[in-house]
Amino acid sequence: MVLFVVAVMVLVAVGVLLWKAVSAQALATGPGATDEDAPTGPTRPAGGPPRRTRPVAPDDDPEFLRSLDEQVRRGREDPPSTS
């Protein structure tokens, strides 16, 4: 029984390590890439932790907020035209 538990734990550990290695390889090469395109060394830049670029929400984007402020100011300065 103890041998069975140890064997399961070893298999789980090996499975996790293989899964991480395969998923890192797939992320590094991208979809549709061949084995020749795979990197042979480290896949992270040496300068520190990897940076992920995320889309910026409109309320966090200074350029969007600036343009919105300009639109509001133009709206206040220009009275609506009545026909």
The predicted-structure confidence for 27-80, as pLDDT tens digits, reads as follows 666 665 566 655 566 566 566 666 667 777 777 888 888 999 999 988 876 665
Using alpha carbons only, give the angle 8, 10, 16 rounded to the nearest 5 degrees: 100
**Separation of alpha carbons 80 and 36, rounded Å:** 64
Tens digit of each residue's pLDDT (9 = 90 or more) over 14-35: 999 998 888 876 666 666 556 6
Number of Cβ within a 10 Å radius of residue 24: 13
**Separation of alpha carbons 64 and 61, rounded Å:** 5
Parse the chain into domains and list their residue ranges.
1-29
pTM of the complete model? 0.34
